[in-house]
C-alpha cells in the first residue's frame, strides 16, 4: 500500500525528529491553504498529498483552509470546486477553515502591533511605496509617515476600517527595516483598503489583510505545527517569524519549504492555465488535456494513480521537471489492475466471413481481466459481419507485421481464426471491406491441430455493436518545455492534441457504462465515458468516450525506429 512504500523525505525527517524531541507535545497539525481564485491542478495534488499524508502518518490532522484575503479575485465556485477535488483525491478534512473567519482577530492583532509601535499607517501612494522600497541592490528609505504617533496610527487605521478612505490612500505597514537586504522585510504592507464585497464576509470589511500577515497568524490560530509551502516563500519566512514573534499567539508554527512540481509537455501555473482557457485553446477548465484535477478526472485519471504519482516523485528542494511518462506509468499501473477489458473498434473496417452461416449468431465467453478471474467473464456475440481495426490490416505487410493481410491468418480475440481471402476497394482504391473465411474448428481461438497464430486482434459484432464517438488525446505542447527559447507557450501548443473519431464501434456490454468508469479497450488503451458530453446531450447523440491513456506500445516504438 502507498502508506508502506512511501519514501521518507526531508520534511518527514524533520517532523519525526520534532516528535522525538516532543516538540509541540508530539502533535502534528498541517494545512492545505489554497486561495479560491482558480481550479486545483496536479501541482496542488502534491501539496495536498504531502500535508494530509504527514498528518495521517503521525496521527495528526490536516486542515483545508481557504486563504481568502483578497476578495477581488476569489469566488465561491472555486471554493466548491476545491473542496470537491480534495475529496475526490481521497482526503477527509471535515469542515473547511477560512482565513476570512479570522478577520476580526487579525484586525485585533494589527491593532496590537500598532500599540506596540510595530506598525504604522503609511500614506504614500503605490508608486511612492515602490520608489521608497529600493531595489534588489539598493536599500530602501523610510517612509515619511513611519514615525506617526501610536494614537494617530490607531485613529487612521480605525478610519480605514470604517471606510473613510479610498483604495490606495493609506496602508498599514509593519515597521521593520527599510535597509534590510531581504525586500520582504522593508516595512511590508499588512493591510490595505479594498472596497470589494467578500464571498463570505460580504461588505463587512473594506480593509483586508495581506498574505504575509494572514497566513502565519491563521496557522498559529489553528495550532498548525508544520506549515509546508513552496520554495518561493522561503524569503518570506523571516517575516512569518517576525510577525509571530511580535504578537501573543497560541503557538509559533514552523514554516518548511519544498520545491513545487513541474511536468514536461504541460504547464502548471494558474496564470497559464487560465490563459489557455480564456483564449479558448482548450475547452474549459475541465478539458481532459489539462493537468487540472477536474480535467484529469474527466480524462479518466484515478485518485489512486495521482496519489501514487505524488508519492513516487518525492519531496525535495530541487527544481525539477518530471517526465510525463512517469505520471502515465502510474496511471497504467493502476488502470491495469482495476479496468475490465472490453473490445471496441476505433476506425472500423468491415469484414464478411464468407463461409459463416448467414443468420447464425453465436455466443462466446470472454474474460474481463486476463490475470484476475474475480472480475468474471462476459458474453460476446459473433456473426458473419464484424468490424476490425483498419490499422490491423495491411495490403502489403512487412515481415514482422503479425496482423491481417491478403492470405494471412489471425486470431479474433476469444472467437475464431480467420484468413483474409479477398480485399474489396472503392473506386479510389481505398480498402473498404475484407472477405475472410473462418475455421469452425477454432472456436474460442485455439486450433485443434496446434498451429500457431502470431497475431490476435480485437473485433466487434456488426449486428449489435454501439456507435460511439471517441476522443484521443496527445500532449498539449510540442516541446517538453513549452517556454523553450523564451517563446510564448501558446506558440508551442500541439495542434494535434485532440482527435475526435466519430464512427467508432463498441461491444454491446458498454451500453450502460457509467461516466468516469475505467475500462480497457483491448490493444487500444484505457477509456471512460465522458461525464460532460454524455450528460448534456440528448438521446440522439452517440456516447462520447475519452481515451485516458494508451497501452504501452512496443510495436509503435519498433516502427518509429525505422
Partner RNA sequence: UGGGGCGUCGUCAAGCGGUAAGACACAGGGUUUUGAUCCCUGCAUUCAGAGGUUCGAAUCCUCUCGCCCCAGCCA
Q: Active-site positions?
A: 35, 260, 270
In the window 18-37, what residues touch RNA (CB under 7 A)? 33, 35
Are the C-beta atoms of 176 and 185 separated by less than 8 Å? yes
Q: What is the CA radius of gyration of the chain?
A: 31
Q: Which stretch binds RNA (CB under 7 A): 40-48, 225-233, 294-302, 344-352?
A: 225-233
Are the C-beta atoms of 89 and 55 separated by less than 8 Å? no
Taking the complex as a whole, the smallest distance from the CB of residue 90 to RNA amounts, in Å, to 21
Q: Does 95 bind RNA (CB under 7 A)?
A: no
By C-beta, is 250 or 325 nearer to RNA? 325
Q: Which of 117, 163, 181, 197 binds RNA (CB under 7 A)?
A: 181
Tell me the C-alpha distance between 48 and 62, whole Å. Answer: 9
Tell me the C-alpha distance between 466 and 509, whole Å. Answer: 9
Each residue 39-78 as x (binds RNA by CB under 7 A) or -, in order, gives ----------------------------x-xx-xx-----
Taking the complex as a whole, the smallest distance from the CB of residue 424 to RNA amounts, in Å, to 22
Taking the complex as a whole, the smallest distance from the CB of residue 27 to RNA amounts, in Å, to 23
Grid cell, residue 242, equals 517576525
With CB under 7 A as the rule, give the number of residues binding RNA.
91
Instruction: Provide the β-strand partners of residue 481.
Output: none
Q: Which stretch binds RNA (CB under 7 A): 18-26, 162-170, 350-358, 528-536?
A: 162-170
Taking the complex as a whole, the smallest distance from the CB of residue 171 to RNA amounts, in Å, to 5
Are the C-beta atoms of 88 and 298 separated by less than 8 Å? no
In the window 365-394, what residues touch RNA (CB under 7 A)? 369-371
- CA 380 vs. chain centroid, Å, equals 36
The DSSP call for residue 359 is T
**E strand map for 465-512:** 466-473, 498-506
Are the C-beta atoms of 435 and 393 separated by less than 8 Å? no
Q: Does 98 bind RNA (CB under 7 A)?
A: no
Q: Say which residue the cell 449489435 belongs to.
A: 464
Tell me the C-alpha distance between 199 and 334, whole Å. Answer: 39
Grid cell, residue 60, equals 495528526
Q: Which of 23, 118, 281, 317 binds RNA (CB under 7 A)?
A: 317
At 519 the three-state DSSP class reads strand
Tell me the C-alpha distance between 194 and 259, whole Å. Answer: 32
Are the C-beta atoms of 527 and 470 separated by less than 8 Å? yes
In the window 513-532, what residues touch RNA (CB under 7 A)? 520, 522-523
Q: Does 332 bind RNA (CB under 7 A)?
A: yes
Grid cell, residue 203, equals 461588505
Tell me the C-alpha distance between 266 and 476, whole Å. Answer: 6
Q: Does 487 bind RNA (CB under 7 A)?
A: no
Q: Which stretch binds RNA (CB under 7 A): 1-9, 45-53, 273-281, 501-509?
A: 1-9
Q: Does 429 bind RNA (CB under 7 A)?
A: no
Q: Does 445 bind RNA (CB under 7 A)?
A: yes
By C-beta, is 285 or 527 nearer to RNA? 527
Tell me the C-alpha distance between 168 and 207, whole Å. Answer: 11
Are the C-beta atoms of 103 and 201 separated by less than 8 Å? yes
Tell me the C-alpha distance between 19 and 107, whole Å. Answer: 33
Q: Does 114 bind RNA (CB under 7 A)?
A: no
Q: Which of 105, 162, 204, 321 binds RNA (CB under 7 A)?
A: 321
Q: Which of 61, 236, 289, 307 binds RNA (CB under 7 A)?
A: 236
Taking the complex as a whole, the smallest distance from the CB of residue 539 to RNA amounts, in Å, to 31
At 377 the three-state DSSP class reads strand
Q: Which of 329, 390, 469, 503 binds RNA (CB under 7 A)?
A: 329
Q: Which stretch binds RNA (CB under 7 A): 106-114, 324-332, 346-354, 538-546?
A: 324-332
Tell me the C-alpha distance between 545 and 502, whole Å. Answer: 10
Q: Which stretch binds RNA (CB under 7 A): 79-87, 323-331, 418-426, 487-495?
A: 323-331
By C-beta, is 16 or 352 nearer to RNA? 16
By C-beta, is 261 or 533 nearer to RNA? 261
Taking the complex as a whole, the smallest distance from the CB of residue 379 to RNA amounts, in Å, to 15
Amino acid at each position: 500500500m502507498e502508506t508502506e512504500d512511501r519514501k521518507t523525505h526531508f520534511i518527514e525527517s524533520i517532523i519525526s525528529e520534532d516528535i522525538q524531541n516532543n516538540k509541540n507535545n508530539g502533535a502534528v497539525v498541517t494545512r492545505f491553504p489554497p486561495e479560491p481564485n482558480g481550479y486545483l491542478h496536479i501541482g496542488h495534488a502534491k501539496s495536498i498529498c504531502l500535508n494530509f499524508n504527514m498528518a495521517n502518518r503521525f496521527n495528526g490532522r490536516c486542515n483545508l483552509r481557504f486563504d481568502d484575503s483578497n476578495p477581488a479575485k476569489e469566488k465561491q465556485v472555486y471554493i466548491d470546486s476545491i473542496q470537491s477535488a480534495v475529496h475526490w483525491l481521497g482526503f477527509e478534512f471535515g469542515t473547511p477553515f477560512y482565513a476570512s473567519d479570522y478577520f476580526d482577530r487579525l484586525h485585533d492583532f494589527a491593532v496590537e502591533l500598532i500599540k506596540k509601535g510595530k506598525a504604522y499607517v503609511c500614506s504614500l501612494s503605490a508608486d511612492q511605496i515602490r520608489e521608497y522600497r529600493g531595489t534588489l541592490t539598493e536599500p530602501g528609505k523610510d517612509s515619511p509617515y513611519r514615525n506617526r504617533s501610536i494614537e494617530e496610527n490607531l485613529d487612521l487605521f480605525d478610519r480605514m476600517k470604517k471606510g473613510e478612505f479610498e483604495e490606495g490612500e493609506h496602508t498599514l505597514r509593519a515597521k521593520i527595516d527599510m535597509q534590510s537586504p531581504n525586500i520582504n522585510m522593508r516595512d511590508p504592507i499588512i493591510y490595505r483598503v479594498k472596497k470589494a464585497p467578500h464571498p463570505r464576509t460580504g461588505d463587512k470589511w473594506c480593509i483586508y489583510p495581506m498574505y504575509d500577515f494572514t497566513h502565519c497568524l491563521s496557522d498559529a490560530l489553528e495550532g498548525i505545527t508544520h506549515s509546508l509551502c513552496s520554495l518561493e516563500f522561503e524569503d518570506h519566512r523571516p517575516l512569518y517569524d517576525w510577525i509571530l514573534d511580535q504578537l501573543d499567539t497560541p503557538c509559533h508554527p514552523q514554516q518548511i519549504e519544498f520545491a513545487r512540481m513541474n511536468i514536461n509537455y504541460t504547464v502548471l501555473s494558474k496564470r497559464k492555465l487560465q490563459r489557455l482557457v480564456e483564449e479558448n485553446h482548450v475547452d474549459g477548465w475541465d478539458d481532459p488535456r489539462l493537468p487540472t484535477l477536474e480535467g484529469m478526472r474527466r480524462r479518466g485519471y484515478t485518485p489512486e494513480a495521482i496519489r501514487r504519482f505524488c508519492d513516487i516523485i518525492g519531496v525535495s528542494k530541487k527544481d525539477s521537471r518530471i517526465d510525463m511518462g512517469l505520471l502515465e506509468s502510474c496511471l497504467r499501473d493502476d488502470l491495469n489492475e482495476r479496468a475490465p477489458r472490453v473490445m471496441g473498434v476505433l476506425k472500423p473496417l468491415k469484414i464478411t466471413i464468407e463461409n459463416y452461416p448467414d443468420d447464425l449468431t453465436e455466443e462466446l465467453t470472454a474474460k474481463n481481466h486476463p490475470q484476475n478471474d474475480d472480475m468474471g467473464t462476459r458474453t460476446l456475440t459473433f456473426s458473419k459481419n464484424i468490424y476490425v481495426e483498419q490499422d490491423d490490416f495491411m495490403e502489403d505487410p512487412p515481415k514482422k507485421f503479425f496482423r491481417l493481410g491478403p492470405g494471412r491468418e489471425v486470431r479474433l480475440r476469444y472467437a475464431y481464426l480467420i484468413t483474409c481471402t479477398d480485399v474489396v476497394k472503392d473506386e479510389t482504391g481505398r480498402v473498404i471491406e475484407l472477405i475472410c473465411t473462418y475455421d469452425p474448428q477454432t472456436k474460442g481461438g485455439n486450433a485443434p491441430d496446434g498451429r500457431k497464430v502470431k497475431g490476435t486482434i480485437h473485433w466487434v459484432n456488426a449486428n449489435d455493436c454501439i456507435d460511439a464517438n471517441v476522443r484521443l488525446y496527445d500532449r498539449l505542447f510540442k516541446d517538453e518545455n513549452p517556454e523553450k527559447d523564451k517563446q510564448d507557450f501558446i506558440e508551442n501548443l500541439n495542434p494535434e492534441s485532440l482527435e475526435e473519431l466519430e464512427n467508432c464501434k463498441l461491444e454491446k456490454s458498454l451500453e450502460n457504462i457509467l461516466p468516469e468508469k475505467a475500462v480497457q479497450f483491448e490493444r487500444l488503451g484505457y477509456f471512460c465515458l465522458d461525464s460532460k458530453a454524455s450528460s448534456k446531450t440528448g438521446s440522439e447523440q452517440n456516447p462520447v468516450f475519452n481515451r485516458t491513456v494508451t497501452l504501452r506500445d512496443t510495436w509503435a516504438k519498433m516502427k518509429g525506429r525505422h
